Amino acid sequence: MKSRHDAGHRRGTAPRVVGSIAPPTDISGPFVFSWSAVGECAVVRVAGQVDVATAPAFRTELGHVITTKLSKLVVDLRRVTAMEAAGLHVLVDAHDLAVQHGGWLRASGAGQWLADLIRAAGINRPLDHYPTLADALPAHRPAPLT
């Protein structure tokens, strides 16, 4: 039985992954991944579906950034159209990997759907998530309350 997350994904076709320091320009496939450095932090942009078919590529790409580039990263989820529990587990595992390498992982831009997915999946491991990319970046300093 196909779920709504299967829409647009062709059976047997490997997910399309774009790994670069430039933002993605073509989002024709079910999953797009790119990253760029912002100071000592990597901003990872994800677009499309993160499901059981694309989760392995998502895991590989995040692991590559953490272990060979920067271990402090913000994962921008604003352009994710669907995420299953498999994608959430990738984020939590990548957080643990980042911590092992002296860094951290923060998610941004997901809105309430990420909190709902965390709750529904019964995840009790840490995953920091922020409403905006600016909030998640380490250089962000909220204005003092007056």
Q: Kindly list the averaged pLDDT for each block of 10 residues, start to end, along the chain of length 146.
A: 37 41 47 91 94 93 96 96 93 96 96 90 87 87 53
Q: Torsion angle, CA of 62/55/137/105, rounded to 10 degrees?
A: -70
The predicted structure's pLDDT at residue 29: 57
Exposed (0-12), middle (13-18) or buried (19+): which is 44, by Cβ within 10 Å? buried
Stated pTM of the model: 0.76
Tokens of 39: 């100071």
Tokens of 125: 């491991």
The predicted structure's pLDDT at residue 24: 42
Distance CA 145, CA 111 (A): 23
The predicted structure's pLDDT at residue 47: 94
- State residue 94 phi and psi, 5-degree precision: -65, -35
